Amino acid sequence: MLTTTNPATGITNETDIEQTSPAETAARAASAQLAFDTVRGSTRDWRAGLLEALADGLEHHRPALVATANDETGLGEARLNGELNRSQFQFRLFADALREGSYLEATIDHAGETPLGAAPELRRMLLPIGPVAVFGSSNFPFAFSVVGGDTASALAAGNSVVIKAHSSHPLTSQLSFSALADAASAYGAPEGILGIVYGTESGRVLVADPHIAAVGFTGSLGAGEALLAIISTRPNPIPFYGELSSLNPLIVTRAAAAERTTQIAEGLFGSFTLGAGQFCTKPGVAFVPRGASGDAILEDLRARTAAAGGMVLLNERISHSLTDILGRITNDGGANVLAVGSLAGAGILAAPTLLEIDAADFTEATAEEAFGPVLVVARFDSLEQIFHAVDAMPGSLTATIHHGDDEPDAVRQLSERIAPTVGRLVFNGFPTGVRVSWAQHHGGNWPSTNSQHSSVGVSAIRRFLRPIAFQDAPAAVLPEELREEFSSIPRRIDGVLVLPARAATSKKVIV
């Protein structure tokens, strides 16, 4: 039987959940294939209704979901209710995207004469890819786990899903899956459209299964690389969309430090300790200028860190890893410890820790992600010292620039240098907190992710779709969105974007 540990108390209890055997995992994947064969031809309206039914199902089980997740994560009811709201919103946002239809990239080039001579007719759009394996994350028991964005976007695309539950919250995963499965069944979805497996070995078996067509993963770099290695041995390697490791540098210019000293220190402390520093977008290194204003920011951070109590980590593995990484950043990376909070209390705790280094001395060894409430402050005298450190950093999900009211040249230089290394560039804000929207991009250069796609927002659906072009095809074999008379979604026809009449004349108010 699997066990579950309340990290706020350190108490471990046995569950009634067994690890899924290889045979059972294979059966889940086969069932997902049968369900996919049924739903791959479903209408966008049907799938939108399914997603809305799943969101309703989560609301019906809210009290039990939040209580169970709190026992397994120690994240608190306020945080967990907010996260469950986000999960529901993701399902409903994808339902809106399905009905709007532009995600299909429907494109028609009619046959005719071209500058290169006579050309055939081509009609192209995106179709569902097949059963998707989704790996839940430890730090977001709802938004990036069983009821998270990978599940929502894969279902929206027209696929079935088999979820690998995270070992840190098996009971939350079990209850989340039941809420979705019950809602899907009541809606009339086929059995197997959703499946779940438990245990580390089941994840390995799942990504190797021939029925699985793509993988969505949020977790550690080591685990992601291990799964990639398994996928590479398949007769037909499949797409692996991993979110893995991110340092998320934050830069404070001289003008910003002078203009907003206290606000920046307060916001930065809150950002690197939010959720005990267990956010994938946590700023791991902050560049602070030398001088009086920078000294004031550093002293404020030092005082806040020293006065902070122990913060609950999600599991013992994260705790042991954080200890090892701190040792490497100080011993190999050359960072000095400026302040450490207390460890008073029960449970799996980490003391908030503030480190300092000269930006000129920053190396690859200093640039290791510390998953927990840890911040390295790099002091700089010039932009060139920041650029030196940026060159030593791996790719990140985000970078942040705090700038003053009147320094366009510095902002431009910093933006041009750091933008090629990240997926989201934040100005005068903090990277923790990822808006779920049409314009969001939650991805970045290796090792933050291993693809150019987003795992948050509407474009996340693109991961689980594949393009197909029909050449001189009879109308009967075409999806309805590519037929000549169809006009209810945006389409590009002979190079011209054609919008539905209702879209061109209506206005939608978003609250």
Mind listing the pLDDT tens digit of every residue in the chain (511 residues)? 999 999 999 999 999 999 999 999 999 999 999 999 999 999 999 999 999 999 999 999 999 999 999 999 999 999 999 999 999 999 999 999 999 999 999 999 999 999 999 999 999 999 999 999 999 999 999 999 999 999 999 999 999 999 999 999 999 999 999 999 999 999 999 999 999 999 999 999 999 999 999 999 999 999 999 999 999 999 999 999 999 999 999 999 999 999 999 999 999 999 999 999 999 999 999 999 999 999 999 999 999 999 999 999 999 999 999 999 999 999 999 999 999 999 988 899 999 999 999 999 999 999 999 999 999 999 999 999 999 999 999 999 999 999 999 899 999 999 999 999 999 999 999 999 999 999 999 999 999 999 999 999 999 999 999 999 999 999 999 999 999 999 999 999 999 999 998 654 443 333 2
Catalytic residue among 100, 280, 369, 481: 280
CA dihedral 213, 216, 222, 226 (to 10 degrees): -10
DSSP-H helix ranges across 361-490: 383-391, 408-418
CA pair distance 492, 306, nearest whole angstrom: 58
459: DSSP letter: G
Angle at 447 between CA 445 and CA 450, to 5 degrees: 65
Q: Tell me, what's the pLDDT at 510?
A: 31
Q: Is residue 240 within 8 Å of 228, Cβ to Cβ? A: yes
C-beta separation of 393 from 247 below 8 A: yes
Q: Which 3-state string (H, E, C) describes 480-498?
A: HHHCCCCCCCCEEECCEEE
Which pair of tokens denotes residue 164?
A: 């690998």
Is residue 183 packed enough to be buried (19+ CB in 10 Å), middle (13-18) or exposed (0-12)? buried
pLDDT at 504: 47
**pTM (2 d.p.):** 0.95
Q: Is 243 annotated in the active site?
A: yes
Distance CA 233, CA 208 (A): 8
List Cα–Cα distances, 189 to 34, 54, 61, in angstroms: 12, 11, 19
- C-alpha 195 chain-centroid distance: 21
Query: So what's the pLDDT on residue 502?
Result: 66
CA dist 96 and 49 (Å) reads 10
Cβ-count burial 3-16 (b if 16+ within 10 Å, e if not): ebbbbbeeeeeeee
- The catalytically annotated residue of 243, 356, 368, 481 is 243
Asked if residues 23 and 31 have their Cβ atoms less than 8 Å apart, the reply is no
Q: How far apart are CA 435 and CA 438, in angstroms?
A: 9
Residues facing 119 on adjacent strands: 112
Q: Which residues of 211-235 are buried (b: 16+ CB within 10 A; e: fewer)?
A: bbbbbbbbbbbebbeebbebbeeee
What is residue 423's three-state secondary structure?
strand
Write out 164-191 in H/E/C secondary structure: ECCCCCHHHHHHHHHHHHHHHHHHCCCC
Quick one: pLDDT at residue 509? 31
